[in-house]
Amino acid sequence: MRYQNKIRCYLFLCALSAVSLFNYTYAAVNPFKITRSLQFDDIPWVASKAGVIKTGQENRNDGVYYYHLIISPGQLIFRLGKDEPNGWIKNSRPLHALDLVDLKIDKKRLPRFQWCLDNQSNISSPVLRQNTKVSNDVCIIRGGNGEFIINLDVATLNYLRRAKILEITVRPFKHPVIIEYGMTGLHEALVRLESPKPRSMPVKAKPVDVKVAAPIIKKQPVSKNCLVRPPEVYKVSIKPQSFLCSDKRSKQRAEEIIQQAVQALKQEEMEEQKQQASVDDAVSSDMIEKEKEWMQKKKSMWVKRCKEYWGKGSSPCFCRPYLQYAPSGTVDTCNK
């Protein structure tokens, strides 16, 4: 009976430690437990060059915030805008910090998002943080553009087509925002987007017998346009530049425009990374100090408990990690 009481006490202390550590970790993520929830259901899908768009809005003290969900057969884009209802990148809301906390379909985490969490460079983070690198650029998150992008596979696109609710949890700065979109009508909107437009049939004019001398037309050389495209990772933010295929100077100028745009985005990303790094360092230092404080309290608690057994000449299994604090001559009696 006494042995059973010891086991129960040990299990209770282990559970207490786990609960304390969980509460501390959650408090670090959302210290004030402030979360805003937004629901955008009865909003139609609107076709655009980027895909089909559903936009919700929120009136705030500093203006009107817009939440754009853009879906095409190849990508899902979530973009934060302000004061302008269109979803253009130039009207996005630039942020110094933007985390993608969760992405759910009908209350279940999207497998594609879980894959991004498992294959990110910052493997210790439970969320996708700003400018985090993910394998093959499957997930791209850019706070400077106020957006994140998920490149879709066939299975994920089918999940979205069948979904009733898409729930996105983002954390601009410190406090999470949960945005729910009603997904009814997405499948039909994508079908209309993918369907080729019918060609209009020209009206045949009735022939008129008028004899006119055929003019002599000199054939002019046809000038064709070519495109210089940005790197794949920037294809959403930077538009391709057209140039005359036969004009080398035109091509060189187009390449320079693309290169300047890429350098500007890279510089912006570097600045954001520096700012995020300083924030992360401050948070990390605070967490380390609190973790040390907790470990010290935990050690003192267990050493005090074990001293009762060491004074009787025994040392049970849960005292093994603390034998270095036992009186000399104390014998480890675990499993004996």
Among 176, 193, 210, give the residue marking a domain's end. Answer: 193
292-316 residue pLDDT tens? 888 888 889 988 889 888 888 888 8
Q: Are residues 110 and 146 in the same domain?
A: yes
Taking the C-alpha atoms of residue 143 and residue 120, their distance in angstroms, rounded to an integer, is 17
87-107 residue pLDDT tens? 666 667 777 778 889 999 999
Q: Are residues 305 and 183 in the same domain?
A: no
Provide the greatest CA pair distance for the chain: 126
Phi-psi region of 136 (alpha: psi -120 to 50; beta: other; left: phi over 0): left
Q: Are residues 265 and 311 in the same domain?
A: no
Reference 149, options 87, 236, 89; nearest CA is 236
pTM: 0.49
Q: Are residues 61 and 180 in the same domain?
A: yes
Provide the 3-class DSSP secondary structure of residue 99. Answer: strand
152-195 residue pLDDT tens? 999 999 999 999 999 999 988 778 999 999 999 999 999 998 87
Under the banding of pLDDT at 50, 70 and 90, the label for residue 7 is low
Domain assignment present for residue 50? The answer is: yes
The per-residue pLDDT for 205 is 56
Under the banding of pLDDT at 50, 70 and 90, the label for residue 45 is very high
186-229 residue pLDDT tens? 999 999 988 766 665 665 656 655 555 666 666 655 668 898 89
Taking the C-alpha atoms of residue 131 and residue 98, their distance in angstroms, rounded to an integer, is 9
Under the banding of pLDDT at 50, 70 and 90, the label for residue 12 is low
Q: Which domain holds residue 247?
A: 225-277
Q: Are residues 57 and 154 in the same domain?
A: yes
DSSP 96: S
Q: Are residues 159 and 308 in the same domain?
A: no
Q: Are residues 122 and 231 in the same domain?
A: no
DSSP string, 146-183: TEEEEE--HHHHHHHHH-SEEEEEEEETTS-EEEEEE-
Q: Are residues 304 and 273 in the same domain?
A: no
Taking the C-alpha atoms of residue 43 and residue 218, their distance in angstroms, rounded to an integer, is 55
Cα 205 from chain centroid (whole Å) = 58
What percentage of the chain carries pLDDT values higher than 90? 25
Reference 40, options 78, 93, 83, 91; nearest CA is 78
Domain assignment present for residue 138? The answer is: yes
